[in-house]
Structure 1
Amino acid sequence: MKVKPVIGAKVTHDGRRAVVMCYSPTDHETCEIRFANAERKWLNVKTLVPNYVAGDHVRHVGSKALKGRGTGMVLSTRDVIGFHQVLVQFFDSGESHWMDWRLLGQANSAETRITYRAIGKYGNAAERMRMRTLAKALSIWDANTGAFGRLDIDPLPHQLDVARKVVTSPQARWLIADDVGLGKTIEVGLILHALTMRNRCRRTLIVCPSSLTKQWKDEMRVKFNRSFEIYNRDFKPEFASEVRARENIIISLDLAKRPEHKEMLLGGGPFDVIVFDEAHRLGVDEGGTRTERFNLAEALNTTCHAFLMLTATPHQGKTRRFRALLELTRPDLVGELAHLEADPSIVREVIIRNRKSMVTDAQGKLIFKGHDTLRYTITPSPEMAAMDAELQAYLREGYRTGSQMENRSLGAAIGFVMATYRKLASSSLAAIEIALHRRLARLAQMESEKAARMRVVMPLEEDLEEDAENLAEIDMPRHLGAFFSDEAERVQKILNLITKAKPHDTKMQTFLTTIADHVIQRGENLLIFTEYRATQDYLISRLQDRFPEIGCDRINGGLSLDEKVAAVKRFNDGKTRVLVSTEAGGEGLNLQETCHVMVNYDLPWNPSRLVQRIGRLYRYGQKKRVQVINLHNNDGFDNSALALMLDRVTTIAHQLAAVRSQSPDVLASEILGDLVANIDMETILERAANMTPTQTEAEIEVAIQRAQESLKDEEDILAFASSSGTRVSGGFDSRHMAALLMGMAPFAGFRVEKVTKDQQTFDIELDEDQVGRWPEFRRRRNIRMSFDHKLAERNAEVVPIDLESTFMRHLVDLAQDRDAFDGVYGEAAKIKGWEDGDILTTHQVRWQSLSGDILEEDLIPVRMTGVAVKEMPRDVFAELLLSPFRTSGAEGGKDDRVPVLTQEFSKILAKKADGERMPSSVTTFTALRWS
């Protein structure tokens, strides 16, 4: 027998149960065994027979070369060609292995130690119990949320809750519908980190609008240390194998939907995680027709383990489109989703949604306080009024001509041009001037070429999303002749009036003198939105003339990704004071760090874009109350109609918010955004060809009424969506990391010399024999380290620490080492709220899906008072672990309540199980008795 039973091995001799105690120093074949009645004998090991049965707690003893697997529970035994093997499920890993019996020694369970009040051989057992519990709790929290990894973020409770919900769910397919500005990108980063920790995320695909590809790449790299490559930018694959060779890919949505690239992605799979940003762009129309974008997402959904869709506006009052998004996310629930209106609770299985009115910081304080919206109504000068009157007459004639055409395509094309000119005129004199100059030039060219009318091809809606800001500069439709006989003369007359009106542009004058002057003089930054590049150029020219000493930058769809990112960086770094953006900056850009004042120089016909614009500033990280200023030129039908709609909706939003229990300002902002998303104002204005105010006002009232009804239906459905409520219950944060660091100092061979007030930065001194043990400390003995990674970036002498640092991992591993540290059971001096004889136990539970996949590890705290057993609230448990435990000097004895504890905990566990998950392994991890 080359391998002898380890000390503590359970054996029998002549049918009597015993334990191996030690070996003879002279005869290594002879050992001393202790029988159940405490009798001891020296026997030859060949006379001993293993004695393990299911339910025994054992420990695997390693060697100098190989570390042991720790403690576990015996599940079964077997004999294979004379070898006696024991199937053990190990508590640390959750794995089960067949082991040779000679490598296993008995381990007293926590229940046994509670019964016999066995505090173990180490001193300060109560504090050791706290350290062991805290180390396990932090490890589990990090595995489920990614909160303590090497990340350049300070995650909020709702972000951690989203990550945990996704990572631990049996179906990792979710539509994440948090409000704009709540950090959906951070949530995705946490999810990817946590899944990577579980070896469930090697390859990731992110599909997003083209304007956001670079931002996704930068945020993943800077905040999560995760490198992505942008498809067709960082690499241009010719074969699917080139896609398959890459781990993390970002691709623009409209590039990915093209057949050749879609085929490349499908051939380059599978991916572990696929993310679709701005997922509301994927849906079907109300007739049920699927777009190419939808088909792309549907095809990719079948190729991945986790599928995430991100959108702040999942419903938008369009029930068919909303249902299609849900079915796309969870195709296995198509049957249930067909009855969505009858049973909306099904959305709990599909949607995670957090609202700004509810999210808090780690201390439970509400983060968002609402924003102010101001409107400047501008009376046009006589010159501008004269130009507008002539333009309105031209537009009416164009609409009349289009409506009388027998060729409906040509008539629709004329109507489209008229609607475009109305939008441009509402924006600025410059925008409509450029468009009309181009129209006049085209008419002259067609006349000289005597061009015949040709088939008109209307632009697609998806193309207009990209080109809308440039409508003033493109010719559309290109082959349409004069609308009516004297069109060229009328256009020229309008252009002459524009030339006269430009020096009297009261809208621009009001903006410069009443708004920009004050903002610039206060030393603040200013963000300006407009729909069109022509207006953007006009604004920048006038701003630079008036404020030559400040920098003024732009963002529009004509810039490259690098140029957009550079413009945002200059603005956030303070190198420019004014940023003028088209809708290309309306989604995804984060400008809240250095700006809180935004001007809408024009009001888009699609008012939901206003919500996206506001979201650039009104988001997490904003330190000031956001000021939104809308310029309303009281010069025509369209601006008046938009102002009327916004006024009515704002009033309704504040009325509805006033009757709610909390945060009326924040709620009003939410309700306003939800309402305008449900009002198709663009269709109302396009339909108003005769521009009759009374008829349009009536249509707006009907639309608002329908929007309110849609909003109620939407709220009734989305009320069932999963959310974190106000804060994560029982979450762990840097305070607990600090508690572990300081609590382990006496046990781990170092001293804490200094701690900052916020417990983020520490000066420690290592024992001499510890120097050089941890790579991040190099050969230093005195170290300053910090959980604040930004501080470490600024100061090379500060070492960043987290659960990925070798030093913190050592502390966590040491605290959970039963042989070297113990910490399984302790007795503590009584503290406030606890009585003599009360018991605190923590139970390590692994949950698995019905198919056997491990979903989550959990640490469930339980309090026993007398014979009453209750699960402790997680937040109370988390707070309890922050303060040291003092070991009591109470005498030993016996506690016979373990059977009651075991029985009652089984009931607690049964309530937590459901139809999709069940316990995989359960053990009592630590116990503390107050005495």
Structure 2
Amino acid sequence: MTSCRSLTMQTLKNGQTAIGTMPKMTMPEALAADTRVNHPRHGVGHVIADAGEFVVARFGATIQQVLRTELTLARSLDQALSTGTFDESSETLMRASAMAIRSVNDQWGVFSRSRVQLLPHQLWVCHKVNRTFPFRWLVADDVGLGKTIEAGLVLMPLVARAQIRRLLVLAPAKLVPQWQKRLRQMFDIRLQVYDRSVDTPAVDFWDTANMVVASVHTLRREVADGRSEGSRFLSADPWDAVVVDEAHHLHADERMGETLSFQLLRALEERQKIRSLLLFTGTPHRGKDYGFLSLLSLLDPGQFGPDHDIDEQLAKLPEVMIRNNKATVTDLKGNRLFTPVTVETREYAFSPEERAFYETLSAFIIDGRAYASTLDGRAQSARMLLLIALQKLAASSIAAIRSALTKRRAKLADVAAQARAPSPTITEGDEDETLDDRARADEEAWSKMLAELMEGEIARLDELLELAEPIAQERKIERLVDLIDRELPAGEPVLLFTEYKATQALVVDALHARFGYGCCAFINGDERLEEINKADGSRGPKSWSRDTAAEAFNQGTIRFLVSTEAAGEGIDLQERCATLVHVDMPWNPMRLHQRVGRLSRYGQTRPVQVFILRNPDTVEARIWDLLNAKLERIQRALDEAMDEREDISQLVIGMTGPSAFEKIFAAGQTQSRESLGQWFDRESATIGGEDLVDKVKTMLGNVTRFDFAQVGRNLPQVDLPDLERFFAMMMESHGRRVFRRDDGLDVLTPEKWVVEDYAMHDRYKGLLFDRNARLGNREGPTRLVGVGHTLFDRALKEGASLQSTLATCLRLSAPLLIASVEDQITGQDHSVTRIVLGAWRDQEGQTHVLRDWEVLQMLNALGRADNPKPPSVNGEQLKALEADLLSAMSESLPAVADMMTRPGIRSEIMLLPDQDAGT
């Protein structure tokens, strides 16, 4: 570090001052309270009491008793104004910039090295959560608003400051790789994936891993089964922060009890292993207050829980629950980000052969339900579940149901003599199942359930298979191809969803046949289709990994992506595509919301268009019409009661639960067209009932949410480019010139930094302060510069350690005072320990208070006065101005430092105009 060139003002007869030499700072015999001191380990602090050999001083948020001989006097603004000491403007600007950068990032995370453009609501979530530490929040944002980014913004400043050293992310197994990949690529937070194979008694994973992402289902089974791996996990050191994705799996029911996932978190809480907790879920309320309040009890068991008064708890929701929805989020200018999704239906009709098959199948199902109703207990349940699976397959495609019927016919024929007892293997599944697991269970149920569904079932199956035999082309698939070929622009990318693999294969074959082999990829849980057409005309298996298929679709290598529910969550497909087709309609309406969420998410540049293929003559289509009409009525009722529009369908559907919808679709098969409407009204009375809508209104009326009109003016209008000037100045101060190349900035690392930090490179090439730059996954951690980059963090640390307090600058119209705000009550352990403010007075005498990001903007616009002219100033007037500006900043503390118990403000730096700093 180059030495600071300090100058002093000698008081003149008229009260003005001129530049002279800085007097030597010597330690006085007694240190007065509030004297600014420097300690080699604790940094800069302020004296509380001088006890002779020992001195009690405050350093940041902690109070230390240190040896007096370890302290040196640190320069203060008060001293500079009293003695007329001027510092070099370069160093003063660097110190001021470092203070402002830290203040902004600690509160908002805006300088984190996320490789996506940050949105106001994401910055606001970071700001809200990080106002206290430890934190406890439930974030219930809508699908597609960037929960991984929100988590990274919250965690990154705390990780960078080492407030979070041990981090645990718990997610469903299929989302574990995504969390690891995104936090590494976007924030350079490197998580180890927990796997049972790497955790042994000899090599205890939990004893060595500090930053971990793990499957909540894997861990909960290990703990529940009493395995040694689970014991090691529960006995590991406490976690500074735990993040839980899909937190609705942490469920408790009054009758059924707690899920294993809930028990896992409760076990960690009881052992005091969780310091901060961040829960993410789009459906926090699953229809029962007991489960919702139990989830909240994980955040604060003292205030929340099923045994507490519910009205009192709802009033406290703003303290623990955040929800943002697509209807209200904006960009930094206040423009709404999302346009409503357009949904259109495209109808088709059965061919005569398809109609005959459908009517015969309906009669088969009705007779099967009648037969099952004569049985008791498990015998009845097993048959009903199988018939429901049959209905769902038939609603997808004839190809799906034909495959299942063929397998069942063969199985019954082989074991007819033994097929008189229901198999116990047919179940409704459990919370571990993925949606593809459930679909596979529907397809395979026929080989597990050997008991006949009715008398003479084999003959009835033969009849159905005979009717299905001549159906080579399904009208639904023909209508799908016609929709793409005739109604969509040529080359338009299309995302298509089916529920079953047999239907998926049918669609893949049809698209290849019409638009050319190689135009289409697929995603399913098995990453494989057994029988599809190939380019040479043969049939056989084809494999596509989930990530490979998604990347090919996003990059434009393929035009079509056909997915089962395996892509319904945890995958982004909006880069090129804005068109989605529901080839079939699942019986759980929540899945439609999740499917659309793959395209209707941030980064989508076009309105999303959704098409539904619909045969109005089927019972499923008529039930969907009735259900949609009911949801629209509920939406209109809520719109009238809410200030901001909220998509009610997702919450109402989530609170109703999938089983209620499945029962309606299954039982509706037995209703005539004439009686269906009245029957639906009776059966769906509990869906979106008045009490449920009231719960939604009450919950949404109490949660904390982003409101641009209220917080927009306070959002930091800065980004990574605003760091570049500070970085260049710091490098220059160490004799390192920054060279600008076509691909970015090149700089040699200061030799001392390389010696002291083994992770530091000797030279950095192609550095960029642009989060939108196209960078490979391996380039991002070294080339994208922001808080968290090794080189920049060292520069920030050095800049903050400078002691310059008073200097002159070019392009400054009036004196600028920079102050710091800290909590006067220690031991609060805030995540934000210091806030920076600025203030100046214009020629009309009006005082302007600046937030930290506004201070940084002003500093970046100032010029360095490395050879200043002797300033013509009045020292006493400057002190009076300082007091006035400090008083104005103090008045803003309730708004800017409300997370602090007793905020106190202190002058740090004053910058004066170079030519004439007179006041």
Query: How high is the TM-score relative to the length of structure 2?
Result: 0.82
Structure 1 partner of 2:169: 206
The 2-side partners of 1:874 and 1:284 are apart by: 44
Give the Cα separation in 2 of the matches to 1:786 and 1:362: 22
Q: What does the per-residue CA deviation read over 1:412-456, in whole Å, with 9 as the maximum and x for residues that have no partner? A: 222222222111111111111122222322332332446445667
Q: CA deviation at 1:72?
A: 2.8
Q: Give 3-state SS (helix, strand or coil) of 1:856's partner.
A: coil
1:110, 1:825 within 8 Å by CA — same for their partners in 2?
A: no
Aligned residues of 1:284 and 1:324 also touching (Cα < 8 A): yes
Q: Does 1:217 align with 2:197?
A: no
Contact 2:349 2:475 in 1 (8 A): yes
Could you say what secondary structure the match of 1:96 adopts?
strand
What is the identity, as a one-letter code, of the residue corresponding to 1:489? A
Q: Which whole-Å CA distance do the structure 2 matches of 1:416 and 1:616 have between them?
A: 30
Q: CA deviation at 1:628?
A: 1.4
Q: Distance in 1 between matches of 2:900 and 2:848?
A: 22
Correspondence for 2:276? 306
**Alignment match, 2:439:** 469
Code of the aligned partner of 1:483: L
Rounded to whole Å, the distance in 2 between the matches of 1:902 and 1:768 is: 37
Cα gap change, 1:182/1:787 in structure 2, threshold over 3 Å: closer, same or farther?
Answer: same
Match of residue 17 from structure 1? none
| 1:624-678 C-alpha deviation (Å, 9 max, x unpaired) | 222211111223212220133124434764786699888xxxx57x334334434
Matched with 1:134 is 97
- Within the alignment, does 1:173 sit opposite 2:136 as a pair? yes
Counterpart Cα distance in 1 of 2:792 and 2:183: 24
Alignment of 1:627 onto 2:596:
no
- Give the alignment of 1:227-238 within 5 angstroms: 227-232=190-195, 235-237=198-200
1:579 correspondence with 2:564: no
Contact map agreement 2:522 2:544 (CA 8 A) in 1: no
1:408 maps onto 2:368 in alignment = no
Aligned partners of 2:724 and 2:887: how far apart in 1? 36
> What is the one-letter code of the residue matched to 1:602?
D
Partner of 1:677: 654
CA contact (8 A) 1:52 1:74 kept: yes
Distance 1:450-1:409 versus aligned 2 partners, 3 A rule? closer
Q: 1:523 Cα deviation (Å)?
A: 1.8
Aligned-partner SS, 1:695: helix
* 1:305 Cα deviation after fit: 2.0
Provide the residue aligned with 2:86 in structure 1: 121
Q: Who is 2:537 aligned against?
A: none
- The CA deviation at 1:89 is 2.7
Per-residue deviation, residues 784-831 of structure 1 (Å, max 9, x unmatched): 642136456599999543345565456545544545xx2446588775
Q: Say whether 1:543 aligns with 2:511.
A: yes
Relative distance call for 1:182 and 1:575 in structure 2 (3 A) is: same
Answer yes or no: is the 8 Å Cα contact 1:749–1:767 preserved in 2: no
How many residues end up aligned between the 2 structures?
A: 853
Aligned-partner Cα distance in 2 for 1:849–1:891: 37
Q: 2:415 is paired with a residue of what secondary structure?
A: helix
Deviates more, 1:321-330 or 1:560-569: 560-569
AA aligned to 1:387 is F
1:319 maps to what in 2? Answer: 289
Deviation at 1:893, TM superposition (A): 3.9
Letter in 2 for 1:571: F
> What is the root-mean-square deviation in Å for CA atoms of aligned residues?
4.3
Task: Say if 2:46 is the partner of 1:73.
Answer: yes
- Verify: 1:421 aligned to 2:390, yes or no: yes
User: What is the DSSP-based 3-state SS (H/G/I as helix, E as strand, rest coil) of the residue aligned with 2:455?
Assistant: coil
Q: Is the 8 A contact 1:848 1:856 kept in 2?
A: no
* Structure 1 residues without counterparts, runs of 5 or longer: 1-6, 9-20, 24-31, 35-44, 61-66
Distance 1:716 1:841, change over 3 A: farther
Query: What do residues 489-531 of structure 1 show as CA deviations (whole Å, max 9, x unaligned)?
Result: 222212222223443x211110012226655x62232211111
Aligned AA (1:74): V
What letter matches 2:723 in structure 1? M
Q: CA deviation at 1:614?
A: 0.8
Q: Which residue of 2 aligns with 1:381?
A: 351
Tell me the secondary structure at the aligned position of residue 631 of structure 1. strand
CA displacement at 1:158 relative to structure 2: 2.6
Q: Contact (CA 8 Å) 1:632, 1:639: kept in 2 or not? A: yes
Question: What is the identity, as a one-letter code, of the residue corresponding to 1:96?
Answer: Q
**Percent identity between the two aligned chains:** 26
Matched, 1:641 2:623: yes
Report the CA distance shift for 1:897/1:408 in structure 2 as closer, same or farther (over 3 A): same
Partner Cα separation in structure 2 for residue 921 and residue 804 of structure 1: 29
Q: 1:244 and 1:661 mapped to 2: Cα distance?
A: 50
The answer to whether the 8 Å contact 2:837/2:889 transfers is no
State how far apart, in whole Å, the 2-side matches of 1:281 and 1:250 are. 17
Which one scores higher on RCO, CA 8 angstroms, separation ≥ 6? 2
1:702 matched to which residue of 2?
A: 685
Deviations 1:592-636 (A, max 9, x none): 123221111111111011111111111112222222111112232
Name the SS for the 2:277 alignment partner: strand
- AA partner of residue 410 (structure 1): A
| 1:250-265 matches, cutoff 5 A | 250-258=213-221, 259=225, 260=227, 262-265=230-233
Matched, 1:367 2:337: yes
Label 1:751 to 1:332 Cα distance change in 2 as closer, same or farther (>3 A). Answer: same
Contact residue 641 and residue 696 of structure 1 kept, 8 A: no
Alignment pair present for 1:110 and 2:92: no
Alignment check: 8 A CA contact 1:374 1:628 kept: yes
State the partner residue of 1:883.
861
Task: State the 4+ residue runs in structure 1 displaced beyond 6 angstroms.
Answer: 658-662, 742-748, 750-756, 764-777, 794-798, 827-830, 866-870, 885-888, 910-914
Distance 1:464 1:421, change over 3 A: farther
Shift of 1:220: 2.8
Report if the CA contact (8 A) 1:815-1:823 is conserved: no
Out of 412, 418, 437, the position equivalent to 2:406 is 437
Instruction: Tell me, yes or no, if the aligned pair for 1:128 and 1:823 is still in contact at 8 Å.
Output: no
Give, as a single letter, the amino acid of the residue that structure 2 aligns with 1:248.
M
Match of 1:515 in 2: 484
Kindly provide the amino acid, as one letter, of the partner of residue 694 in structure 1. G
Residue 612 (str. 1) matches residue 590 (str. 2)? no
Counterpart of 2:720 in structure 1 is: 734
- Which amino acid is 2:365 matched to? L
Residues 527, 599 of structure 1: 8 Å contact kept: yes
Give the alignment's TM-score, normalised by structure 1: 0.81
Contact 1:54 1:75 in 2 (8 A): yes
- Match for residue 837 of structure 2? 861
Letter matched to residue 670 of structure 2 = N
User: Given the alignment of the two structures, is residue 352 of structure 1 paired with residue 317 of structure 2, yes or no?
Assistant: no
Superposed CA deviations along residues 520-570 of structure 1, whole A, max 9, x for unmatched, are x62232211111122122222222233333342222222499932233233
Q: Does 1:564 align with 2:529?
A: no
Aligned equivalents of 1:106, 1:617: Cα separation in 2? 56
Partner of residue 243, structure 1: 206
Instruction: State how far apart, in whole Å, the 1-side matches of 2:856 and 2:724 are.
Output: 13
Task: Map Cα deviations across residues 342-377 of structure 1 (whole Å, 9 max, x no partner).
Answer: 452311222222222333334444322232211112
Question: 1:719 aligns to what SS in structure 2?
Answer: helix
Shift of the alpha carbon at 1:241? 2.5
